[in-house]
Amino acid sequence: MEEKQSIYQVFRRLPDFVRDHSILLAPEGGAPADARMSTPVEEETDENEAFLKAMKDVRKVDRKKERVRKAAEELHLRPPREAGPTMEEILDERTPVSVVNLSEYREGYVDGLNPFVLEKLRNGEFSIQRALDLHGLSAHEAYDAFHTFLGEAVQSQLRCVKIIHGRGLKSRQGPVLKEKLKEWIVRAMHRKWVLAFASARMADGGPGATTILLRARARKEKLHIFG
């Protein structure tokens, strides 16, 4: 009985067969497979021709004369910012401007004061019962006037008064009377009657005036001052 050939023995001579018969395996009118392989130069030439054909209608942009606009979808990536008030609107008395946002704003209050009371004072919700104008006075004269005014207000059981001291915009030394008023308020003889104070709202003088809330009874407490 003839010994069966192993499958490995059958395909062992396959490379020699392919090499000897490569011409017969090639299609009619063509070259052997290894001879028909395209070169990298030919592939690159085909890509260049395809690129030039695709770009034939593209024109160069003259950036000196034309402006390249962004796509419409890119122009609305961010929500539009709300426009702030114009200078004309700010100067208009009918336009509300919060004095709290100004750098000149100042306020003070005693320990334990209800926040709603201070908020009402900031908003000018307390009726001003009497006012004192310190314009044109020296620091010494202004102190005497303030001391007398506050004493009379306490005796009259007033709860809300206003001191007009100016902003010191025309003074080389700045708002002298405004700074002095802060010193006078914290003095013991005055502080025991002061519940809170704040720069007046714009309609009542703004940073050039201070509104003061007075106690019904004298009481010495720590006074917090900001500004």
**In sequence order, what DSSP letters do the residues of 50-118 get, joined into one string?**
HHHHHTTT-----TTT--PPPPHHHHTSSPPPPPPPPHHHHHSTTS---GGGSTT--EEEETT--HHHH
Separation CA 226–CA 176 (nearest Å)? 17
Structure tokens of 144? Answer: 């005497």
Separation CA 206–CA 166 (nearest Å)? 9
Per-residue pLDDT tens listing for the chain (227 residues): 444 555 555 556 666 666 665 545 555 555 554 544 455 555 556 776 777 777 777 676 666 655 555 554 444 444 455 555 565 555 555 555 677 778 889 999 999 999 999 999 999 999 999 999 999 899 999 999 999 999 999 999 999 999 999 887 776 777 789 999 999 998 878 889 999 999 999 888 888 999 999 998 988 888 898 88
Separation CA 22–CA 123 (nearest Å)? 101
**166 alpha carbon, distance to own chain's centre:** 32
Domains in the chain, CATH or no CATH each? 87-226 (3.30.1370.110)
Burial (0-12, 13-18, 19+ Cβ within 10 Å), 60: exposed
Question: DSSP 3-state assignment of 126?
Answer: coil
Whether 125 and 92 have beta carbons less than 8 Å apart is answered as no
pLDDT reported for residue 1: 46
pLDDT reported for residue 168: 75
DSSP H/E element including 24: helix 22-25
pLDDT reported for residue 77: 45
Structure tokens of 160? Answer: 């809300």
Stated pTM of the model: 0.57
Residue 78 Cα distances to 69, 74, 105, 219, angstroms: 16, 9, 34, 55
